[in-house]
A and B are shown apart, each in its own frame.
Chain A
Amino acid sequence: MNFGFTEEQELLRREVRKFLDEKGPLEEVRKWMETPNGFSRELWKQLGELGWIGLTLPEDHGGAGLGWVDLTVVLEEMGRSLFPSPYLAQTLAAAAICEAGTPAEQARWLPGLADGSRIATLAVVEADGRLDAEGLRVAGRPADGGYRLKGEKHQVFDGAAADLLVVAFRSGDAPEAISLAVVDRNAAGVEVEAQPSIDLTKRVSKVGFRDVAVGPDALLGASDAAWPVVQRLLDRAAAAVVAEAIGAAEGALQLTADYAKERQQFGTPIGRFQGVKHPLAEMFVDIESFKSLLYYAAWCLDEGEDARRHVSLAKAYASEAFARIGVDGVQLHGGVGYTWEYDIQLYLKRSKWVRPTFGDADFHYDRVAHLGGYA
């Protein structure tokens, strides 16, 4: 039994940390926040050269062949820096192609994703954010051996920057008749419109499909058979969001703890007062706890064990706890916490992105109850 990271994983963490400390400090992040796509193409290229974009992709297709536990290490550090990039979008889209695609389809799409020369994203969620099969209403009408898509996907990660969209759509009448296809962002009838988030380090878009042709060669795997794959992807996605949340929450705690040690009132650092100490301690307790839950979930994903309950426990816990940490972090900063200038507000906004993304606490607690036989 070993519930810790390997030396290779610790090394990976140090390398990512060093890279982000040097090239992506929060002053830089704030500059990227002002740009249309919200990230640095130059650093994206460097991430590709370092082999981190294809971290979880098979070595045959230019990836590093690592797992979700390794990915967790990278995402934690990106979260800590609030580092903006299509990393999550790319990883999830590529995971869809790995899980659903035939070997030939994988060979066609993955190499260009592994090195970052093309950007892909996953389009599953729609306006109401439902995560069940019936919530997927973008519909494919059979045509020319493929489909023509109509409908609208919401909150597509980095939709504006993406070259390729991996779309989950309804392809038949049965409740779970869902298919996956790779759609070119420039295909006729694809309309991408930004949905500005209060978290300027996260870019999401509405993607409209106005009778978009999907050829038979664009499908991933068999028609109507993708729902089990999409379910597994949703678990991977939720786990990835929590991994970023771990780093971000630790970043928020670090900022707040540093401030509490520095800021003097009544002639002493405010960190001496229990009214400050105790919420800080609670932040630590919560972070360590959803960290433990997530690590086990990530391990289950890598080992092919049933990860559903563990992903839900982690996402539910993290969604609630990080939201509290964001608010408490700002509050413990006092007046300066409310300013645009101080960084703690950036973490509070990140918690607002984390909370509903790929299922909020209620959704995941309901799933835990269902799996536990009391719902």
Chain B
Amino acid sequence: MDFHLTPEEEAFRAEVRSFLDEHLPKNPNDPQQIAKWQKEVRARRWVGFSWPADVGGGGGTLMQQVIVKEEMAKRKAPPLGSCFMGLAWVGPAIIQYGTEAQKQRFIPDILDGAYQWCTGYSEPGSGSDLASLQCRAVRDGDHYGVNGQKIWTSIAMWSKWMILLVRTDFDVEVKHDGITCLLVEMETPGVTVRPIRNMSGGAVFAEVFFDNVRVPLENRLGEEGQGWQVTVSALAHERSSIAEVEGLRRRHEELVDLAHRSTRNGRPALEDDGLRRRLARFEAKIEAMRFNGMRFLTRQLKGEPLGADTSINKLHRAELEVQVGELALELQGIAGHLEKEIDGGRWQRFALSWPEVVIGGGTPNIQRNIIAERVLGMPKD
């Protein structure tokens, strides 16, 4: 066990720190400053830092990427790159399964943040049982004709491209084998996006309808019938919990700050033992996520596969997301349900947006199934 960095890594960290001293935007709300920042980190090749250099990535080590992310999170820097899903899993999937032409066409745009990608996985009848999906693609010469519906597609209305799972074979013994992955331009005729208003009043996700949408064969990612494999290995990239943990630590600080300003029965809220301990319990969960993440990272650095136990941090995250929002509203007492009475209503918005994190990417019960079956060897349902 050794949490020290090597001399080379220390030197690299110093480089990152001095870059941050010089280039960190003074005003994180100024779009011009943010745009300038995005250009500078891109020029450094720190966006997609561990991606291969020949597709435009940084060619850095995983550890270097961790250092970059950690230092940036500590300084509350804006995100590296702006194409969130492209960087999280579409890019890695294209690097792993894409043709040379697909890599040349899409990877530089993802790194530059030229436009957004969205992810067309869930369907009205296929949520937790994703592999039962029915949106179909039928081959027609040099195209696929796509018909069907997707739902819960985050940022579909602001995306230029979608990574889409379709069924190309209905006649398979194992339902996973009939699935294919396509890359679809959202402006293609026959694609209709209908935003869904969520319980917080806003709309982040949408329904997407496909009516005889023609997708060129060259936009298939991987082989026909390989879609499930592409998805599973792409989602395995969606892991680095460092930025996530830093975000949670910041939220915890804000919650403590709220607690300092709150009263219960006319007394400072923090004099309440139970309440104080709930705050400390959150710290334990957040730190557990941090050190779990480091143990997973150690395994990755040794070249070992991550396996199902990354579901651990997803479960912690889901629990925290709900409980932090609940505690924030409880702290506000009788004002807890008022839309904008305290802190401009940010805690109310927070307490109404947890499903994005908790349900998206696999519900807690699905994560528990994964652990019980793949780690503990329980029989499958």
Which positions in A face B, CB cutoff 8 Å? 1-6, 69, 253, 257, 260-261, 268-269, 271-272, 274, 276-278, 280-282, 284-285, 288-290, 292-293, 295-296, 298-299, 310, 313, 316-317, 361-362, 365-366, 368-369, 372-375
Contacts and interface: CB of A to CB of B under 8 A. Distances in A.
A362 B379 contact: no
B375 interface: yes
Given A316-B280, A366-B276, A261 B378 contact: yes
Interface string B298-318: 110110000001001001100
A293 B288 contact: yes
B295 interface: yes
Given A274-B369, A285-B371, A295-B1, A269 B379 contact: yes
Nearest to A296: B291
B256 A372 contact: yes
B312 A285 contact: yes
Nearest to B276: A369
Contact of A293 (B281, B284, B369, B375): B284
B273 A280 contact: no
B22 interface: no
Given A285-B371, A362-B273, A293 B287 contact: yes
Contacts of B236: none
Nearest to B281: A365
Given A317-B284, A368-B280, A4 B302 contact: yes
B135 interface: no
B372 A271 contact: yes
A293 B2 contact: no
Contacts of A269: 378-379
User: Main secondary structure on chain B at its contact with chain A?
Assistant: helix
Given A281-B372, A285-B315, A369 B277 contact: yes
A272 B3 contact: no
A375 B271 CA distance: 7
Given A257-B377, A278-B368, 15 more contacts: A1-B294, A3-B1, A4-B295, A261-B379, A277-B372, A280-B372, A292-B292, A298-B1, A313-B288, A316-B281, A365-B277, A366-B277, A368-B283, A369-B277, A373-B256
Interface string B1-40: 1111100010000000000000000000000000000000
Contacts of A285: 312, 315-316, 371
Given A280-B378, A299-B1, A1 B298 contact: yes
A289 B288 contact: yes
B110 interface: no
Nearest to B296: A3
A209 to B, nearest CB: 34
B379 A272 contact: yes
Nearest to B67: A1
Contact of A271 (B4, B281, B375, B379): B379
A374 B279 contact: yes
User: Main secondary structure on chain A at its contact with chain B?
Assistant: helix
A278 B372 contact: yes
A288 B309 contact: yes
Nearest to A283: B376
Contacts of B291: 3, 292-293, 295-296
A374 B298 contact: no
A285 B302 CA distance: 23
Contacts of B204: none
A361 B316 CA distance: 19
B264 interface: no
Contacts of B379: 261, 268-269, 271-272
A282 B298 CA distance: 23
Nearest to B290: A292
Given A2-B1, A3-B3, A269-B379, A372 B273 contact: no
- Listed from nearest, the 6 A-B pairs whose CB atoms lie closest are A292-B291, A277-B372, A289-B288, A365-B280, A281-B368, A271-B378
B259 A374 contact: yes
B104 interface: no
B378 A257 contact: yes
5 contacts: A2-B1, A313-B283, A317-B284, A372-B283, A374-B260
A4 B295 CA distance: 7
B115 to A, nearest CB: 35
Contacts of B299: 4
B63 interface: yes
A368 B273 CA distance: 13
B235 interface: no
B129 interface: no
Contacts of A372: 256, 279-280, 283
A272 B378 contact: yes
A78 to B, nearest CB: 20
A27 to B, nearest CB: 25
B279 A369 contact: yes
A299 B3 contact: yes
Contact of B1 (A5, A284, A365, A374): A5
A290 B1 CA distance: 16
A268 to B, nearest CB: 7
Contacts of A69: 1
Nearest to B295: A3
Contacts of A274: 365, 368-369, 381
Contact of B63 (A1, A253, A296): A1
A255 to B, nearest CB: 12
Contact of A284 (B4, B295, B365, B371): B371
B373 interface: yes
Nearest to B285: A289
Contacts of A2: 1-3, 298, 301
Interface string B349-381: 000000000000000010111011101111111
Contacts of A253: 376
Contact of B371 (A260, A281, A299, A317): A281
Contact of B295 (A261, A276, A292, A375): A292
Nearest to A258: B377
Nearest to A368: B280
Contacts of A281: 367-369, 371-372, 375-376
Contacts of B309: 284, 288
Contacts of A374: 256, 259-260, 270, 276, 279
B297 interface: yes
A280 B288 contact: no
Contacts of A310: 287
Contacts of A292: 288, 291-292, 294-295
